[in-house]
Structure 1
């Protein structure tokens, strides 16, 4: 009887352990992000992260790994945000060129708004760590490819300005809707996210979308 009872309790204890481990991991990641933003990636130590998270240094390593591993997890949060695929699917099926541009502008705005802190950390960390520099390149490439989906959709709709290739349109979209623009307007010049989204979308429409034909 006692053996049966103990066996019945074991899954419950395992669930509690898993919940505790997940909570610890979340606290570590949150502490790391706050410290990276406040002090810069290079100046933060694993000891700092452990103290901020209220845990021990070995626990940090066991739960998330070292600093670069922690940063990778934080970066992947942005890369894997569901808003990315939702936005791309909406753009792929759009039937109106201006609506497609507005949809892309809103989607990348949401992604940047949610993850601006980690983008800024990533940019500063890339200056001191080659692995992060490579990750930043990969993120930027994936971001640019996503913008290329809009350029291709505009081409399919016959909505690109005359003489504008999808490659050149993608370049222009990266300039207007890529990582640097959101940081410039929001982080450096204190524009609101709404103002920035509206202005960038208007510029993208003006630059890429052909004027409607009469009749």
Structure 2
């Protein structure tokens, strides 16, 4: 006779259910991302995601919360990418202002390049969906906060142009290194990522650094 208390589920059953739920969620997320990239956010329905992932519409909602929540999940992954902390750590370790700009620009480039297609989806979705617009606003806010760290490091090094505050320097960094600039030069103008990185780093240095910086 089993010593397990009456009505208590077997541990392996609960574990298997959790594993199955995780596998289902992963399949839904993978299918949704594939469809978003292939068709664009606005042309994908929850029904499409369900069919692509081999699940039912209620399962998609129960597992992920729907289209906007799925998109927010992927953006959150991007925000939490280790490249962000790695870049900021490297920036704070720099003692040369131009090297600081180069390191920051390269880290931003890697992040944008890795999530370029997803950011295109998010920008399109933001015009159609209020939740997606809020997700974009949150992503941009975190992005600007990271750029403020770069501006702060340049200020600590005494490298900013006379009269240029940390806040204004952050605005300038956002102008040159924000998502729109990468999209403009890489997608619209067909520049390579290397060309774009080098040119933007030059423009940031010219705009922010004191003329006396070698």
| CA RMSD between the two structures | 2.2
Other-structure match for 2:209: 209
Post-superposition Cα deviations, 1:22-68, rounded to whole Å, max 9, x if no partner, equal 23222211211222222222221111011112222222122111111
The Cα shift of 1:212 comes to 4.1
The Cα shift of 1:104 comes to 0.9
**How far apart in 2 are the matches of 1:129 and 1:120?**
14
If the length of structure 2 is used for normalisation, what is the TM-score?
0.87
Other-structure match for 1:57: 57
The Cα shift of 1:190 comes to 2.5
Post-superposition Cα deviations, 1:51-110, rounded to whole Å, max 9, x if no partner, equal 112222222122111111111111111111111122112212321111111111111112
Q: Which runs of 4+ in 1 moved over 3 A?
A: 1-4, 10-20, 211-214
- Structure 1 runs not aligned, ≥5 long: 5-9
Other-structure match for 1:165: 165
If the length of structure 1 is used for normalisation, what is the TM-score?
0.87
Preserved contact between residue 88 and residue 149 of structure 2 (Cα < 8 Å): yes
**How far apart in 2 are the matches of 1:195 and 1:16?**
50
Other-structure match for 2:193: 193
Query: Are 2:20 and 1:38 aligned?
Result: no
Preserved contact between residue 97 and residue 209 of structure 2 (Cα < 8 Å): yes
**How far apart in 2 are the matches of 1:202 and 1:83?**
22
Q: What secondary structure is seen at the aligned counterpart in 2 of 1:107?
A: helix
Query: Are 2:132 and 1:139 aligned?
Result: no
Question: What is the aligned residue count?
Answer: 210
- Structure 2 runs not aligned, ≥5 long: 5-9
Preserved contact between residue 159 and residue 213 of structure 2 (Cα < 8 Å): no
In the TM superposition, 1:39-188 aligns within 5 A as: 39-188=39-188
